[in-house]
Amino acid sequence: MSAVGAIVRDDLLHLSPEALSHAANAGIVKRAVRELAGGYRPRLSVDAQGLLEAVFDDGVSCRWPAGVAIQDARCSCNAAGVCRHRVIAALAYRESASAQAEQAAAPLPVAAPVADADDAALARVVPATLLTQAGLLRDAGISIEVRQRGGGDPCDTARLPSATVRYWGGAALETARCDCVRAAACEHVALGVWAFRAAREQDAAAPQLTVRLGSAGQAHAVERAPFEQLVEAIARHGVSQGADAWMQGLSTARIAATEAAWLSLLLADLETWGEGYAKRRALYDAAQGVDLLAELGLRLAAGGLPGHAGAVLGIGQAGETALDRVRLMCLGARTQRDGEARRTTLVMADIDTGTRLVLAHAWQVPEARRADEAAIRAAERLAPGVLLEALARGQLLAQQAARRPDGSVRLARARSSQNSVLPQAADWAQLGAPVRFDSVAALRAEQLAHPTAALQPRHAARRFIVFSPAEVEPPAYDANEQGVAMLLRDAQGAPLLVQRFHERHAPHALDAMADAASGRHGALRHVAGVLSWQHGVPSLEPWALGCEGGLLVPDFAAASGALGALPLGVARPAGADPCTLQLEALRQHLATLLHHGLARLPRGWAGESAPLVRRLEAAGLRELSQRLQAVTREAAAAQARPADAMLAPALLQLLALRQLHEDAALLDRGDYQSP
């Protein structure tokens, strides 16, 4: 192989196999790496203009001008897409440049930050029409999360509500790859550059930051009145009288939220919650209404601030974004049971961008066929060529899929060739934040970076993470709770609790946990599931367990008998502090109000408010105490004079403040006793 020349192609130095997999596909890159290692190497040369020429012994040649993306380089093989010759040329150049740098004892150039890319670079890469479209999206107001290289991501990354952009070469924008259908040189690349510039001005040292772009976004707002009228109807009639009593208010609020994606999703959840009691669903929980209305209060309050409406309310979000060819690896699945109905949620990771996406599938198990549930599940299809159970343990190659604003995915259903399911080895080490973590400190930092979930973009897998432990302590079975608990520790010894409890429709889930911890399938490398915090200690409900010998999905597991070998024990997190206890007591107290409504509110409700007010005061929650007093007075006035009193404003303020206190107390440290 000839020398690459004095001209250094900075844009090629950062094209690692991982970056090239995003530009081509994993199969071509693996073949290229294998052939390069086997001796299939081109002769390389770079001229004064930076043109890279790679000539292979079999006569194939590639010409790659400077500032051109890999898909636009020319190869004499005339392949329809990115061919292995261009991938080999990129890898060989990178290898040769590294060898020359070592000989000269000089470091390779480091990619310039994305924020260094100027308007001329943007205009050179992104077509004028797409730049104009990006400008319109920016001016309308958009919130973008930027993550700097070295902060857990392999390169500078911009996470937009509808797309994720990786800047593999930093300011060399021709190397940027997006997961939208255009894949590169799209409007999302420009938006990401503007976001990195804004992040530099805001805090250049922050490894991750959420920035808001746009000035016209200050003009966006929604009218509060329809939402307050809905809350008033819920408070007066409650859920116990049926959702019909507040359907008119819900309909009016929906019209007001037409352009606000997060509010529309929130209203849909409120409707589902209200129908839950009417249809006597097992999953109904009155306290869920407290959380939903608290989110509504917070979004309405923050959305009224200048420049925040777009991000907080979801104004201007695209309905769907068409995706490029994607490779989605399943990180776990969970099934909810409600009578004969089942709903299975699968959390997928886009390997190229490290983005969490969600597939959901509803199915039925007639009570007469309850014993055949496993067989019914095995035959369920999400789309042509995609079996539910196979995908839960595998990975999906999909074309013509679409991504919704909340991270859910719609698969193409035209023909099976558009979707292919392949096995996987549960090797998730290539994933980074915000999906995979290997330390409790990193989990805590991620939580602190987004302390108020109710103000973040709504995402179907917001609390889903993968944790990679350094040590796994033996699990124990709690016979009273019918659950298994085991403790994971990171390299610093910090604990993470993994807990799962028995459910009738997933009879062997606890067996799977015992299996994974026993070492029967090799060392436990990863645990994926929904994260919560118990008095400062992170806790996971496992959806999947990645072992050296393969992937275990508890909901789909078969009987193994491993549960019977576990010792008995009890997982005992530290007792809750007085503040947390009173916050939960207030949550349940308000849940009673929302369930019964003022019309059927138990006589003792107002009397129970008085001691709760005193306990809140004693716990240092003085403002909450005073607001609860105000709501109690307003409730009494509304019962006495229904036509004159308005309870909704005071109730929304109380609910929002309680949620903020809960978020603030979420990461208070607590001790943990092993099972």
Name beta bridge partners: 534. 537
Calpha distance 673→483 (Å, rounded): 16
Of residues 392 and 577, more confidence is placed in: 392
* AA letter at 170: G
According to the model, what pLDDT value does residue 2 have? 44
Query: Lowest-confidence range among 106-120, 260-274, 531-545, 555-569?
Result: 106-120
Q: Which of 432, 464, 461 is nearest to 208 (CA)?
A: 432
- What does the CA dihedral 313, 314, 316, 319 come to, rounded to 10 degrees? -140
Calpha distance 528→466 (Å, rounded): 4
- pLDDT > 90: what percent of the chain? 25
Mean pLDDT highest for which of 92-106, 373-387, 562-576?
A: 373-387
According to the model, what pLDDT value does residue 573 have? 57
Mean pLDDT highest for which of 63-77, 190-204, 404-418?
A: 190-204
Q: Which pLDDT band, with edges at 50, 70 and 90, does 94 fall under?
A: confident
Q: Which pLDDT band, with edges at 50, 70 and 90, does 108 fall under?
A: low
Q: Judge whether 615 and 608 are in contact, CB under 8 Å.
A: no
Residue 436 has pLDDT above 80, yes or no: yes
According to the model, what pLDDT value does residue 106 have? 67
Q: Which pLDDT band, with edges at 50, 70 and 90, does 145 fall under?
A: confident
Calpha distance 30→145 (Å, rounded): 31
Residue 25 has pLDDT above 60, yes or no: yes
Query: Lowest-confidence range among 172-186, 208-222, 389-403?
Result: 208-222
According to the model, what pLDDT value does residue 627 have? 93
Q: Which pLDDT band, with edges at 50, 70 and 90, does 449 fall under?
A: confident
Reduced to 3 states (helix: H, G, I; strand: E, B; else coil), residue 564 is helix
Query: Lowest-confidence range among 92-96, 327-331, 663-667?
Result: 663-667
Calpha distance 366→369 (Å, rounded): 5
Calpha distance 187→178 (Å, rounded): 10
Q: What are the phi and psi torsion angles at 176 (to 5°)?
A: -70, 140
Average pLDDT over residues 448-454: 81
Q: Judge whether 319 and 404 are in contact, CB under 8 Å.
A: yes
Average pLDDT over residues 143-153: 78
Average pLDDT over residues 97-115: 76
pLDDT in tens, 529-543: 999 887 778 899 999
- In the block, which residue shows the tokens 């510039």? 197
- DSSP character string of 237-263: HTTTT-GGGGHHHHHHHHHHTTTBHHH
CA distances from 15 to 23, 180, 671 (A): 10, 20, 45
* AA letter at 637: A
According to the model, what pLDDT value does residue 140 have? 74
Mean pLDDT highest for which of 252-256, 307-311, 329-333, 516-520?
A: 329-333
- What's the CA angle centered on 446, arms 444 and 448, to 5 degrees? 70
Q: Judge whether 159 and 321 are in contact, CB under 8 Å.
A: no
Widest CA span of the chain, in angstroms? 92
According to the model, what pLDDT value does residue 3 have? 47
Query: Lowest-confidence range among 260-269, 272-281, 474-483, 571-580?
Result: 571-580
CA distances from 229 to 129, 273, 312, 647 (A): 43, 18, 21, 10
Name beta bridge partners: 572. 673
Residue 82 has pLDDT above 60, yes or no: yes
Average pLDDT, the chain: 84
Average pLDDT over residues 39-45: 89
pLDDT in tens, 619-675: 888 999 999 999 998 888 888 777 767 888 999 999 999 999 888 877 655 444 444
Calpha distance 285→595 (Å, rounded): 9
pLDDT in tens, 267-319: 999 999 988 888 878 788 899 999 999 999 999 988 877 667 777 888 767 66
CA atoms within 13 A on the CB side of 386: 27
According to the model, what pLDDT value does residue 571 have? 65
Whether the predicted model's global pTM rises above the 0.75 cut: yes
According to the model, what pLDDT value does residue 615 have? 92
Name beta bridge partners: 274. none
Q: Judge whether 276 and 283 are in contact, CB under 8 Å.
A: yes
Of residues 239 and 3, more confidence is placed in: 239
Q: What is the 3-state secondary structure (H, E, C) of 44-103?
A: EEECCCCCEEEECCCCCEEEECCCCCHHHCEECCCCCCCCHHHHHHHHHHHHHHHHHHHH
Reduced to 3 states (helix: H, G, I; strand: E, B; else coil), residue 594 is helix
Residues 6+ apart with CB under 8 A from 203: 209
Length of the chain: 675
* H/E stretch holding 236: helix 225-237
Instruction: Look up residue 430 and give its two tokens.
Output: 């290539």
- What does the CA dihedral 474, 480, 482, 488 come to, rounded to 10 degrees? -30
